[in-house]
Amino acid sequence: MAISTQPALALQTFLEYLEVERNVSRLTIRNYTYYLKRFCTWFLDQGMTDLKQLDQELVHKYRVYLARYISRNGQTLSKRTQSYYTIALRSWLKFLIKNDVPVLHPEKIDLPKAESHQMKFLNIEKVERLLSQPLLSSKAGLRDKAILEVLFSTGLRVSELVGLNRDRIDLNSREFGVIGKGRRPRVVFLSERAAVWLDRWLLSRRDNWSPVFIRFSGSQPDLLADGENTRLTSRSVQRLVDKYCRQARLPIKITPHGIRHSFATDLLSNGASIRDVQEMLGHKDIATTQIYTHVTRPKLREAHGKYHTDL
């Protein structure tokens, strides 16, 4: 199959490949579409019309553009976000090279040095303080309470949480399946308390919309529709977690992923094995789970001191 080197056409071919051949998630396709469309716009603004014109000098200019980018509301791109743009571009070029399209080799594009991030998590007392913040007299507060309880009970990624549909939730067994990163399925479990709050939230609804967590702002579809456009976004969940963190006056800023870290830390602190936690988090590689050495290392030291013969 001959692939065009005209940016828009080449991008469409790549996105179709991701969807059909690689079977990647809708979220990944959406992200790649966003990152690469921005690159295409910038590329055309440089007077370029063919991907064969892309060279290392242009890549350098693009990375300078990303580093200096400021949005309309004054936001810049973090090093991590800049990396996402570069990774998307490299993946696209790798696909083109694999299909014998004469473009710049992706190995000639280095990734930006990543910012070091200290893992942030809450102990159980601070988790309880966070989870007690939503105002339960309002529908939004009841929804937010259910969100926080489900996040801590399951360790879901925020993208997995907002992707939940009502017909997938079994409150009797308190477990359900999700499709995580890399399209890998796994089962997650609800605590009895989280199931109660999720049930209260769903019983408060008077619609038949599919999404478990919905927005209240903006126009609302017909009650008999599937309600897909009411689905809460990842960004909305991030904002509400941030709001309740500030409201609880927590000493650190916690994101939905920080609640996931807190979930894993709690499991390990109470005796769960690193392999069990790996499976519950949906990590492909155990090395990813081993970031929780702040919990496992003291336990290993204790075991060493208790069981190893001191000659």
Residues designated as active site: 157, 181, 257, 260, 283, 292
Tokens of 46: 């440089």
- Can you tell me which residue has the tokens 């907002």? 162
How far lies 243's CA from each of 125, 202, 214, 246, 249, in Å?
Answer: 18, 23, 18, 5, 10
Residue 185 pairs in a beta bridge with: 179
Of 152, 177, 182, which Cα lies nearest the Cα of 165? Answer: 177
Tokens of 298: 């003291």
What whole-number distance in Å separates Cα of residue 209 and Cα of residue 166?
8
Tokens of 288: 């990813």
Spell out a b/e string for 216-243, using b for 16 or more CB atoms within 10 Å of the CB, else e. Answer: eeeeeeeeeeebeebbbebebbeebbee
What whole-number distance in Å separates Cα of residue 2 and Cα of residue 269?
55
**Do 243 and 252 contact (CB within 8 A), yes or no?**
no
Residue 175 pairs in a beta bridge with: 170, 189
Kindly calculate the radius of gyration of the chain based on its CA atoms and give it in whole angstroms.
Answer: 23
**Do 120 and 252 contact (CB within 8 A), yes or no?**
yes
**Do 144 and 134 contact (CB within 8 A), yes or no?**
yes
Name residue 162's amino acid. V
